[in-house]
Structure 1
Amino acid sequence: MAIITAKLSQLRLSPLNQRRVKPSAIESMADDIQAHGLLQNLVAYEEDGLLWVFAGGRRYRGLKELVKRKKVRNSDLFPVEVRSKEEAIELSLAENFQREDMHPADSIRAFAALRDTGMDAEEIAARFGQAVSFVYKMLRLSALAPALIDLIAKDQLTLEAARALTLTDDHDFQVKVCKAAKGQAHTIRRMLTTEKVDTTSGIFLFVGREAYEAKGGTITVDLFSQGVEGFADSPELVQEMAEEMLEAIAADYRSIGWHEVRAEIERPYDLYMKGSMYPATREPTGAEAERMAVLAAEIEAIADDEGEDSERIEPLVDEQEAIMEGQRAFTAEQVSVGGVALWISRDGTLGKSVYRAKAEPKPKTSHDGPTPLYSNALFADLSRIKTRIVQEAVASDPALALDIMLDSLAGQLLHGAHSYQMATEVQAKTIGTEVADELMATSDVQAVEEVMATRFASIPEEGRFEAIRAMTGDDKMTLLAGLVAMTVDGTVFSGGSPGQRHHQFEQIARASGVDIAARWKAPIALFDKMRRAALIEVLREEVGAPSAENCATIKKKTDLAVNVSERLPAGWLPAPMKIGAFDQRAGGMDQDSDRIDEEDMAENEDA
């Protein structure tokens, strides 16, 4: 290692410099060097008569900027620390990690280069103070097609989408899927996992990872997960193992003599039509009765001496419950007519239901006792007539009708009741409006259900109807408005299109007279979530082509988002939030503007 002085004309930016995405603030670096001089020497290795700078790239670019300003000459001398070429990769990476955050694309390439020198993830992590999991993910991303890493460097492919693409190792397929999914992470994952089994699914948990891998099954780790979750690459093997395990359990039940045993991957759809069977409880044996008496006496003594919360009581209670459970069992008669359904639950446990499989013989008709006055069919018809009469009475009493509707809505939306439990079949469902806090940073609008829960907290669950009957007319109308508001839905779900419901929603919005721009202003988080092409197009439409073209030259997506947010006029709203947006199908909201072209795949960012 030696420090020499060298002419600027002898220096070149090394291709081994791990920061390939151009760093920001070169002009300010040049200003600082002009004001204070070069405070820290450059680091380079010598090759072919030139000095290749691999640490201090921003300082080198700052000097070249000063040459353009005619403040520095290429013949001027500057201090350079000379190292070997072998040290260049590691030292360049170390310097960049200690300074301005490296672009993810640079980290991906740098860690891959270190791995190629023989270092493993643990060594890289220890050397540069990074988490092993972070290094591992960067190394996984380095397996992407080089063209995709170039897109990451250009901020045209998000890390979320890149991680999803690692679910396949085929470079050509990665590029094909990325283009087809238009860089959307969730679409990429869906396309790449259609034929695979999620390792968090019930069927895989039931089989077990260890057993699956023992059979030769492989797993593709999902970089979206926090641990080692991913996708089983052999769904046929998972299915076969699950069926074998279920059949082995079913065979045990058949050997006992159950009339019917069904073993299926999913819960049988027709179980609700079968009557459940429950185990019978036998009388305790003499030994069991004696032991239960002893346990009860011990528990009582401990409670008197140490209190009912004593830790010594719990194991005694557990023993009591075990004895009582042992007294519960299906009788031979139940087994002879019973059925057992087995399936795999969502959490990977064994689901089981016992039901009557063999019909009971019909009892012989007996004329003992009084004969019912009405047949079942006639009884039903009479109840319908009664219902019609009551409906007529309610229809003639608006105040009563309002109270009944409010009771039904309040019961369902405030107290969690079900519509089938109510006297009126008013189907009520709270329409959730939860969004990330960052998207509501500029607004104080509260969810209606939260406001209602506070405003009408005094309405009791027991005696609710009487409480509503006693309310003033104004309070009733306020309650009605809030409850109805909780059911209004203008949401267009991801991947969906506006329909008739949304056109009706626009009528409600227009009738309300609400000024949306006065209640919500677009926060910076909105622009951070938008695609680069979309940001430019919004600016073009709202401000004009010159402003859009000027911002299109901004390299960093975060800087672009800030510039767009500052240039848009006051009161600007995204198209979907404008009243009338769904009066007709909106043709202007093109979700496919962020295309990945073949030329973009081929271009490389300048060093």
Structure 2
Amino acid sequence: MIMSAKSVEINPASGTETLIPLNKLKKSPNNARKTPHSEVAIEGYAASIAAKGILQNLVVEPELDGEGTATGFYLVTIGEGRRLAQLLRVKRKEIKKTEPIRCIIDTANDPHEISLDENVTRENMHPADQFEAFKKLADERGFGAEEIAARFGVTAHVVRQRLRLGAVSPKLMQVYREGELALEQLMAFAISDDQARQEAVYERLSYERDATTIRRLLTETHVAATDRRSRFVGLEAYIEAGGTILRDLFTEDRGGYLEDVALLDLLVTARLGREADALRAAEGWKWTEPHLDFPHAHGMRRAYPHPVELSAEDQAALQVVQTEFDRLTEQHQTAEELPDEVDARFGELENQIEQFEAKRQAYDPGDVARGGAFVILNHDGTIRVERGFIRPEDEKFPAEAGQEGDAVAADDEGGGDDQATRHGEGEEEENEEEGEEQKLSDTLIRDLTAHRTLGLRLNLSEQPDVAIVTVTHALAAQIFYVGANAHVVGIQPVKTDLTAHAVGIEDTPAGKAWSDRHANWAGQMPRDVAKLWEFVVELDHDSHMALFAHCTALTVNAVKLPLDLRPRALAAASRLAEAVALDMTGYWRPTVQSYFGRVTKAGILQAVREGVGEEAAERISGMKKVEMAAAAEQLLAATDWLPPLLRTAKTGDKVGLPDGAQGHDFCSQAAE
């Protein structure tokens, strides 16, 4: 029976099912639900009703005026959400405001009680049943995520999440039903659609059963989209080549995981090879080699560029560019914002100046003709080129070169390698003393030179300035030359390869600063080690001390290893840090990659407490590990927080420095 405006004045008996116009239904003041329905819930009701109609009748009672007379309207005791959904559909002009709504008249029960009963006496569907039911709609009825979303008033992304969860192994789904797996863990398993692999990972879990561990185990054979190889090749190129990407629908996966690692490596190798070929063609090196990582054990000598004068043509061109740059600078020095064309011109001029300045450093043509370069993939996905390496078989030995004792700068990272070419061990220059020595026995020569050595020790011990020269010469001869064997004091620099302990350290600003400083000194070294003594002696005091400091610094080793048996050395490292006023905030920043992603959640929260405060730590305490690490990085970005291992004890003065040394920065810069 459809009730018109006139017929509603006649009150039907309780329990009667009837159709009532939508505009005759009102919200009941006796409804137990006082908190309004959310917009999302109403949208869901509206979508469901549009697709399937109202599946459950509304329960209503007649509205009475103060005298107990029916007003012609009905109060909705059960089904207010459905009424609001239909009103939303009226607003969207999907139905008319007089749309008949199937209702049950109930005047026998207390309206407040049955409203409460409706909202309390029921059990929600288990999430596992919901996930599988959504998947059944997709599998059996062929509905896509968008269509299912439209029929249930949710987003397509939510549907995809439920479909992915519905595809989890039935064995794991049952474990979830039984309460042995949390939803967060089930979501982690859903990153892969390989049910056999899901079950295998589940069997591998021990006490570490958190979602992060599950995701890590399921993706351990894949490559993250944030990996340097992925960034270098690019996701589009990888997909075009036939690669597939595994996406995590439940966390911010930052691009997903590349599944075809072999294809990715092939693309990386091919592109690095093309870059290496282009470099060889452009710069004329004898060889170029592409490498994923720097081959530290290459066993080659390294040549560095040396200062050269610009040609007259380049000098004139540089002067023209510099003059225009200075003129523009003077014209616009008071401008708050540069016009676009002026800003663009500044950029062009700066690039030209940089190109001319780069020509002031050049490799020896002979080194280029027999040397080569490594084309390496940086840890940030960019290309890094290391030039000037000369293979042992390509060396120009003294006999070929027509000179003796020639030793050239060795690579900072490979100069101490046992495979390095021993250069500079040729015959010593003949002098007048050699003729005399040939007349003496070996025993007498040893005797006399022992006395001479003792005399040198006594005199050197009384002349600290000469001692500094001698030590500097010994360190430089071994650091910058391969096998020269030209040092007279028995001091050997022991260098620790930091790249073996901290991945990507050479790509950090501090690593690049050290590399540039070393290259600067290497470029100043005389090509013949026999001339090194004069070079060191002729340096001014500040430059001499800077070279001494650089060579000494290269041997510093404060790396703490597991079961380290050097407690006194590490204690000395702390004293050294105090002496040089080490402030690691200038060299290291806490990020997800450098710290927060590698400590526990408790460690993250402790860092935030120390660096920001208890309130900030409390705000992120409920986050998942990945989100918490990212939040901590943002919170601490503007602070100077450091982990305890990187902190330097605060002291009033620099510890262990001689009087008058405080405040001098003569060791900070290499000589120009």
* TM-score (ref. length: structure 2): 0.42
Which of the pair has more CA radius of gyration?
2
The TM-score, its normalising length taken from structure 1, stands at: 0.46
